[in-house]
Structure 1
Amino acid sequence: MMVPSEGELFKKILGDRWSMLHPDIQARFDKNPLPGKPLYYTGRLSELRCSRIGCMLGYLSQPFIKGALMPYNDADFPVDIQVYSKRDCAWIFKQRTYRLNARKPVMFTSFMAESAKGDVLEYVGMGLGMKLVLDVRDGNLHFESDGYFWEMFGVRIPLPGMLTPGKTYLRHRNNHANQFDIHIEIRHVLFGTTFTQAGVFRELAYPLVGDDHE
């Protein structure tokens, strides 16, 4: 069985547009995390922001998807990321640990999968997820959500846009071979920007923690 990677999935989805990505980004996503041997990244968020509506949604969603929507405003704090695979599983997992100022660390794990129709899906917990559309602009990788869903017993039920946090926009921009920055915005059609994250990251060659993912 082929070891899953985001790169293999993104190549398939982007087709000829993959070659338009900066070579550093291509090389970054070409790495396949072997089971039990995650890829490690560390960085700092220069901005973590939520609106009043976002704050309310964050607190309401915490029991179900803690960390996916953080109801905090903060800045200049470290974030650790592990990207890993599991044996006999085609999903790609991403675990983020936000070490906020004057708060306990918040851990959030999502996983990315390809649907039977060839769509990129990201699941954030409790069967909740979103379909992602990929694009390449100025050599950088962009993601936009194209609808949220709740999956039950293998059936994806679309969620009305008005009842979601809003449309998600993510940009992965290359700085140099071992550094990139991430910018995320979630914008609601009525309430405007509900969540924002921005930070700079680099890859590490050694574990951040002693946890193994099998």
Structure 2
Amino acid sequence: MTMQPIFQQALGPAWDRLGDVIRRHYTMTPFSGDYVCVRGTMNEVWHAPWAALLMPFGRLFGALVPHQGTNVPIEVHYRCHPDDANLYWDRVFHFPGKPPFHFRSHMEHDAKQGSEVIEYVRFGIGMRLAVSAEDGAVVFRDMGYIWRIAGLRIPLPLGLFLGTASVEERPDPADADHFTMKMLLRHRWFGDVFRYSGRFHLGPRLGPQ
């Protein structure tokens, strides 16, 4: 059992090629109860008009942000649970005039996956993500969807409807404690489906909460 942070496990030696703020961001020890919060502003949260058809499913699985806006305040809470090796995320979007919207998920990695992690939302629905270090940034690329049930991982053809996702977090050269991020979900035929981007300040890592 390794006690390395989950993305260090996935990246191996490439972990050292990440920018300092990105490494500090994710230096959270499995089974520790470590906690980090980053706060920032989403410059844009956008989805294509037809993507409204997907929102009922997104709400069911807790996977899609249903609102749009600019300059949207956000905080993201990261936790390592004392009882497992996973990394838990709670993204809290503050759209004006609406209750805070939570997008919760967790990421898992095991030695058999190499540089791949799986991000799970509700009901065992997961997205396989290849992790890489590129010019100091951590980059995640969609490798397909799965459904985990009864110990099995069943491939799901959700990419036919949703498209392919990519996410990056990149050090901000103007400030050692800030980073930028962007997420893009793009369909090969229909173009951009979802996208958001923003800038964040990294708070201190805390012990068990």
- Residue 162 of structure 1: how far off its partner (Å): 4.5
Moved more, 85-94 or 50-59: 50-59
Q: Show the counterpart of 1:203.
A: 202
Cα distance in structure 2, aligned partners of 1:138 and 1:12: 19
Cα distance in structure 2, aligned partners of 1:170 and 1:164: 19
Does the C-alpha gap of structure 1 residues 20 and 85 become closer, same or farther in structure 2, counting only changes over 3 Å? Answer: closer
Q: Show the counterpart of 2:90.
A: 95
Cα distance in structure 2, aligned partners of 1:206 and 1:174: 17
Q: Is 1:65 aligned to 2:61, yes or no? A: yes
Does the C-alpha gap of structure 1 residues 206 and 121 become closer, same or farther in structure 2, counting only changes over 3 Å? Answer: closer
Q: 2:77 aligns with which of 77, 82, 85?
A: 82
* 1:169 maps to amino acid: S
Q: Is 1:25 aligned to 2:22, yes or no? A: yes
Cα distance in structure 2, aligned partners of 1:206 and 1:83: 10
Does the C-alpha gap of structure 1 residues 206 and 11 become closer, same or farther in structure 2, counting only changes over 3 Å? Answer: closer
Cα distance in structure 2, aligned partners of 1:190 and 1:100: 30
Name the count of aligned residue pairs: 203
**Deviations, residues 65-103 of structure 1 (Å, cap 9, x unaligned):** 23x212322111211111112222111101111111221
Q: TM-score, normalised by structure 1?
A: 0.85
* 1:70 maps to amino acid: V
- Residue 188 of structure 1: how far off its partner (Å): 1.4
Q: Is 1:135 aligned to 2:157, yes or no? A: no
Cα distance in structure 1, aligned partners of 2:43 and 2:16: 30
Q: Show the counterpart of 1:182.
A: 181
Moved more, 20-29 or 196-205: 20-29
Give the conservation status (yes or no) of the 8 Å contact 1:54–1:71: no
Does the C-alpha gap of structure 1 residues 169 and 40 become closer, same or farther in structure 2, counting only changes over 3 Å? Answer: same
Give the conservation status (yes or no) of the 8 Å contact 1:180–1:200: yes
Identity level (%): 28
Matches within 5 A, 1:46-61: 46-61=43-58
Q: Show the counterpart of 1:192.
A: 191
Q: Show the counterpart of 1:210.
A: none
- Residue 164 of structure 1: how far off its partner (Å): 4.1
SS at match of 1:28: helix
- Residue 206 of structure 1: how far off its partner (Å): 9.0
Cα distance in structure 1, aligned partners of 2:66 and 2:103: 14
- Residue 18 of structure 1: how far off its partner (Å): 2.0
Q: 1:108 aligns with which of 89, 92, 103?
A: 103
- Residue 126 of structure 1: how far off its partner (Å): 1.4
**Deviations, residues 117-176 of structure 1 (Å, cap 9, x unaligned):** 223111022111111101222221111010011111121111115444121110101013
* 1:112 maps to amino acid: M
Report the RMSD for the aligned CA atoms in angstroms.
2.3
SS at match of 2:69: coil
Q: TM-score, normalised by structure 2?
A: 0.87
Give the unaligned 5+ runs of structure 1: 208-212
Cα distance in structure 2, aligned partners of 1:86 and 1:19: 25
